[in-house]
Amino acid sequence: MFSFSSSSSVSNYYSILLVFSIVATTLYESNAQLNTTFYSSTCPNVSTIVRNAVQQALNSDSRIGASLIRLHFHDCFVNGCDASLLLDNSGSIQSEKDAGPNANSTRGFDVVDNIKTAVENSCSGIVSCADILALAAEASVSLSGGPSWNVQLGRRDSLTANQGGANTSIPTPTEGLTNITSKFSAVGLNTNDLVALSGAHTFGRAQCRTFVNRLYNFNGTGNPDPSLNSTYLATLQQTCPQNGSGTTLTDLDPSTADNFDNNYFNNLQNNRGLLQSDQELFSTSGASTVSIVNNFITNQTAFFVSFAQSMINMGNISPLTGSNGEVRLDCKKVNGS
């Protein structure tokens, strides 16, 4: 492939190789700040502790798995996976919990506190709240019948929150595919990540207020969303009457509400996606998401593999590592406050 006519060319070749080597090493190290064995000597049982606590929570609350993975998702999209979402209001902090996408919506903070207590009892001051969110998300999926993956660890916790960022960066249920794709792209996630991670809506619930616009007055037309299956529309209108309670819950996946499987994608094909942001993955003419949805419909294994990889990708969004941030002793507040 290469030919050299002088010793200087050979020297230049090895200089280029050295540069490539340095670049490759730098890239590797930047991606290797997190690793799956981070706590192997300091808190070797952390994964088991988290998994047991999630299982205990699932025993009394079938929704909690979906709620916990949503916390990780909403955390990572704002300043990276740094547990900033968990911070309460204080003199210097405007909590992300009060941002539009989170207020009266995100839940499971008490379970995170319980997990943190259990971890602290075993390994005090070692495991970050950000890593607990990542581990709890994996446990929630695998305990509900979904894939398992080796969680990359080593994140540290933020010293502040970004309520404004939470208001603008987190994808919302009423956004179109173009906007949501842009929000994923802004944090380094691609279209395959978007479709795979949307598949987390295979379990959990949604409040009427997040989709009622589709039932009666879609985009100001005075009519329902034409992409909604008519039978499903009638069912949803019974659950969520016009001018009714916006907080009434309905299953994101009416077929297997608490199981992690690929039925979510079958629902989209049958025009039974609950949220606008879900259905647009399949119903947007010419969108690159359609073929990915079709693949996941016919191949649950492909969905599981993609979902696990996309969760790892999302978990790698701008983590605090090394001496940045801290390991909070209480996930709700910065140390010393």
For residue 6, is pLDDT > 90?
no
- 227 and 109 in a single domain? The answer is no
Q: Residue 105 maps to which CATH number? A: 1.10.520.10
Phi, psi of 137 (to 5 degrees): -65, -45
256 labelled ligand-binding: yes
Residue 202, marked binder: yes
Does residue 201 sit in the same domain as residue 135? no
Judge whether 74 counts as a catalytic residue: yes
Q: Show the domain range for 155.
A: 45-169
Q: How far is CA 89 from the centre of its chain?
A: 23
Which residue among the candidates 74, 116, 205, 332 is catalytic per the annotation?
A: 74
Q: Is 82 known as a binding-site position?
A: yes
Tally the domains of the chain.
Answer: 2
Tell whether 94 and 155 lie within a shared domain.
yes
User: Torsion angle, CA of 91/96/101/103, rounded to 10 degrees?
Assistant: -50
E strand segments, 94-224: 205-207
Mean pLDDT, residues 119-125 taken together? 98
Top-confidence residue, 1 or 253: 253
Token digits for 234? 């009638």
For the ranges 22-26, 43-47, 77-81, 283-287, the lowest mean pLDDT is seen at 22-26
Residue 33 is predicted with a pLDDT of 86
Q: Say which amino acid occupies 181.
A: T
CA distance 214 to 226: 9
User: Alpha-carbon torsion 249, 253, 254, 257, what sign?
Assistant: negative
pLDDT in tens, 138-156: 999 999 999 999 999 999 9
Extract the tokens encoding 193: 């990540």
User: Is 253 marked as binding a ligand?
Assistant: yes
What CATH number corresponds to the domain at position 306?
Answer: 1.10.420.10
Last residue of a domain, one of 140, 169, 198: 169
Ligand-binding annotation for 72, yes or no, is: no
12-49 tens-digit pLDDT = 434 434 444 443 333 333 344 899 999 999 999 999 99
